[in-house]
Amino acid sequence: MSWYYTREAGDTGQVLTDEGTPPGVNISDIVRDGPMPMGASLELIAYLADVLTIAEEDKALHGDISPGDVYVDDKGAVSLSGYGPMRAQGRAPEGRPMFPASDVYGLGVVLHAVVATQSLGAIPRERDAHDDAIVERLLAIDWSALGQMPGRDSLIHFLCSMLAHTPSERPAPLDVANVLAGVVQKLGDPGVAAWAKKRWSGGSRLIDEELPTLSEVLAAPADLGRVFNKTGQYSRRQSASVKGECTAFWSKDKIASMLDEGEDHLAGSQMFQRQALNARLDGGAQPQRLPPSVVRSPFVPPPPKPPADYPKEVQWVPDSTISGKPADPVMVAAMAEMKAQLEAQKPAPAAPTRRPTPPPAVTQTVSPPPHRPAPAKQTPWLLVVLAVVGMLLVLGVFALVGVVYYTSQNPSQTPAATVVTPAVEAEAPKEEEAEKAKPRASKKRRRAATQKVSPRRAKASKAQKVASRPPPPPPPPLPTGEFDVTFRSMAAEAVLTCGDGQTGRFVGVTRRKFSDITTCRVVIDGKQGAVQLRYPSTVTCVVKDGVVVCTGA
């Protein structure tokens, strides 16, 4: 089973989830007519980044995003299909997709497909060769649509980081959505919705002949409100960038400084230091001097460079039995052609010839083998004896422990009537009976003395047991610096008020930064609760029995 996510057009567009094939036209078919406008291309990648933030909440990993998985409809909604089938390999250098950063690499692949005139081609997986190829591909793109924006070079650095070799050097999906949305607003170019309206109304399809019927219009709200059974979440959700959330690294101030002042926050990374991307963006090496016979006016632009002949791009194609999609028609035609060639290369069958009849085979009578009974299995007496002895030892230990415990808890005491007093000994009528009674009395006294001492020994053994117990674990260390806490409220909107002055409203997931022990109050549907934050954690708040209960702190 496969499903897809759709990001609605507009600044407040939400993310939908459904099964099957997304509506609209595939990006691979759109870019055959030429690259998309710069503003629409960057906004399309920002929409896909919003989709990845929702997929990360659902713990869904695509694994190998390619232009063939992206769809755009006539209203500007962007869809990403292909969720569901497990992929053993992806285009990212790490091979098997294991992190959300692998999907961010796929966004870089899609961006190159919609803004470049040539295919990305095969990219080597070795680090140095990979970085050289990525920088060469991105510098071959025509970035003149960005104009003289101060953050042009830093923006190209950011786009290069999406295709970084190491997953940790790639930005988070939320950072991609926030940065590219700011770039689109800075450029002022028409976005995906305006581009789609112009494209579809320009004659690429007849809108008047494909108007929806009344039943389809009435059924549309019900379809949008369906619950998708794979993730268990509502099919319509608001993305983090629409709610104004940001990460600790790419805050709103950093994005503004990059776009307005050109401050590059990624220029010191290992990838860009090795490639000297700044020098190449500024013009690279010293320009070559032209001979006197070839003097070009400074107002005449230089001739365009011939397109680079990149290796052919080989994309991963899922098996139709796994993904549920029909097989690629190009692949089916290629396989049929190969089968026809193999059939043509087979030699023609030879004419049948009559062979002489072989003589009858001589059969020999062979007596059957003698019947031998199967050897009886020997009983492992040694294991049985060891098991019985072990059980007896265990029972003996338990019995000894029970006797010691019973003796320490209920010490026997000698009745006072059995103790022979001097008065009774004086009343004995005969001296012989008095002599016989003396040793008996001494034995009883020794017994009473030993019985009186045993409770003290028992108490001493209890004290030794208490002293031998391990000390309780130390309390968790107090925070010594800033730490991040993730709040989750998947049911309804939550209002957060913290002791350090932080407030806010959120639905789903929000991240906050604290520098000391802080107590926060959480209000959900009029119910209140509180949680004390001491160290980095993920706090989940739900309404239970009329109050808000927060766990995970």
Residue type, 268: G
Q: Distance (Å, rounded) from C-alpha 153 to C-alpha 145?
A: 13
pLDDT band at 296 (very low <50, low <70, confident <90, very high): very low
- What is the total count of domains within the chain? 2
Question: Residue 382 falls within a domain, yes or no?
Answer: no
225: CATH: 1.10.510.10
Question: Residue 157 falls within a domain, yes or no?
Answer: yes
488: CATH: 2.60.40
Share of the chain above pLDDT 90, in %: 24
The most confident of the ranges 263-267, 283-287, 405-409, 454-458 is 405-409
- Domain boundary pick from 243, 260, 282: 282
The region of weakest confidence among 448-452, 508-512, 532-536 is: 448-452
Task: Please state the rounded mean pLDDT for residues 94-104.
Answer: 89
Confidence (pLDDT) at 302: 44
pLDDT band at 17 (very low <50, low <70, confident <90, very high): very high
Taking the CA atoms of residue 421, residue 424, residue 429 and residue 434 in that order, the dihedral angle to the nearest 10 degrees is: -10
pLDDT band at 111 (very low <50, low <70, confident <90, very high): very high
CB neighbours (10 Å) of residue 173?
27
pLDDT at residue 499 greater than cutoff 80: yes
Question: Residue 367 falls within a domain, yes or no?
Answer: no
pLDDT at residue 183 greater than cutoff 60: yes
pLDDT at residue 462 greater than cutoff 50: yes
Is 251:263 a contact under the CB 8 Å cutoff?
no
The region of weakest confidence among 207-221, 226-240, 296-310 is: 296-310
Task: Please state the rounded mean pLDDT for residues 471-492.
Answer: 76
Question: Residue 187 falls within a domain, yes or no?
Answer: yes
- Domain boundary pick from 282, 314, 346: 282
Question: Residue 116 falls within a domain, yes or no?
Answer: yes
pLDDT at residue 7 greater than cutoff 90: yes
Collapsing DSSP states into helix, strand and coil, what is residue 276? coil
Q: Which range of residues forms the domain containing residue 501?
A: 483-551
Confidence (pLDDT) at 206: 34
How far CA 516 is from CA of 340, 483, 486, 505, 513, in Å, comes to 74, 8, 16, 22, 10
Confidence (pLDDT) at 4: 94
Which is nearest to 55 in space by CA: 78, 13, 83?
83
The region of weakest confidence among 344-358, 472-486, 487-501 is: 344-358
By the 10 Å C-beta count (0-12 exposed, 13-18 middle, 19+ buried), 150 is classed as: middle
Which is nearest to 105 in space by CA: 149, 47, 169, 152?
169
pLDDT band at 288 (very low <50, low <70, confident <90, very high): very low
Average pLDDT, the chain: 76
The region of weakest confidence among 4-8, 215-219, 483-487 is: 215-219
Confidence (pLDDT) at 324: 41
pLDDT band at 346 (very low <50, low <70, confident <90, very high): confident
Q: Give, in degrees to the nearest 5, the angle at Cα 237 between 232 and 240.
A: 120
pLDDT tens-digit readout, 386-397: 999 999 999 999
The packing angle between helices 152-162 and 101-115, to 10°, is: 120
- Between 143 and 321, where is the model more confident? 143
pLDDT band at 215 (very low <50, low <70, confident <90, very high): low
pLDDT at residue 264 greater than cutoff 60: yes
Question: Residue 165 falls within a domain, yes or no?
Answer: yes
Is 102:56 a contact under the CB 8 Å cutoff?
no
Please give the span between the terminal C-alpha atoms of the chain, in angstroms, as a whole number: 37
Q: Distance (Å, rounded) from C-alpha 456 to C-alpha 453?
A: 6
Collapsing DSSP states into helix, strand and coil, what is residue 507? strand
pLDDT tens-digit readout, 34-80: 899 999 999 999 999 999 999 999 999 999 999 999 999 999 999 99
Confidence (pLDDT) at 87: 84
- Between 552 and 416, where is the model more confident? 552
Task: Please state the rounded mean pLDDT for residues 130-159.
Answer: 86
Task: Please state the rounded mean pLDDT for residues 377-404.
Answer: 89
Confidence (pLDDT) at 234: 47
- Between 219 and 248, where is the model more confident? 248
Question: Residue 471 falls within a domain, yes or no?
Answer: no
pLDDT at residue 300 greater than cutoff 50: no
Task: Please state the rounded mean pLDDT for residues 521-540.
Answer: 89
Per-residue DSSP letter, 126: S
Is 37:145 a contact under the CB 8 Å cutoff?
yes
Confidence (pLDDT) at 27: 93
pLDDT at residue 273 greater than cutoff 70: no
Question: Residue 368 falls within a domain, yes or no?
Answer: no
Is 63:71 a contact under the CB 8 Å cutoff?
no
- Domain boundary pick from 264, 282, 300: 282
pLDDT at residue 419 greater than cutoff 90: no
